[in-house]
Amino acid sequence: MKYIRQFLLILFISFLGEILHYLIPMPIPASIYGIIILFLGLEFHIIPLDSVKETGKFLIEIMPVMFIPAGVGLMESWGLIKASWLQYIITIVVSTVLVMAVAGRVTQMIVRRKEKQS
């Protein structure tokens, strides 16, 4: 029963993200609104961590399964992609390296800031 309650809470927050996406005319996906709502709720202790922890861990563990439909979609679209596959590969590699570099720098900055505060 605990897992169902946690899952329903996550679904409710996701639904709030859908409502915000409908109400706010910006090109931000509804899932991002939901993540922000969940983050703020956890950060300001409106939502206790124990109320989503186990189900959140489970959803993270099965996340690779969620990419299967996207992979199948890419395979079905190969006719459109094959003409410019090199540009796609270059874009993927460059953006992945860029994201990793920025994430690493931000993480280092946060760790250094916390070490100075201690």
Distance of CA 29 to the CA centre of its chain: 11
| Same domain assignment for residues 31 and 51 | yes
pLDDT of residue 43: 93
| Same domain assignment for residues 61 and 99 | no
The tokens for 42 are: 């956890």
Is residue 96's pLDDT more than 90? yes
pLDDT of residue 117: 86
Could you report the per-residue pLDDT of 51-64, keeping only the tens digit for each? 999 999 999 999 99
- With a CB cutoff of 8 Å and minimum separation 6, the contacts of 9 are 47, 51, 52
| Same domain assignment for residues 5 and 29 | yes
Is residue 67's pLDDT more than 90? no
Sign of CA dihedral 22, 25, 29, 32: negative
Q: pTM of the entire structure?
A: 0.66
Could you report the per-residue pLDDT of 6-24, keeping only the tens digit for each? 999 999 999 999 999 999 9
Percent of the chain at pLDDT above 90?
75
Q: Which residue in the block uniquely carries the two structure tokens 């910006």?
A: 26
- Count structural domains, the chain: 2
**Average confidence score pLDDT of the chain:** 93
Is residue 83's pLDDT more than 80? yes
| Same domain assignment for residues 61 and 79 | no
Distance of CA 81 to the CA centre of its chain: 25
Which residue range is the domain that position 50 belongs to? 1-66
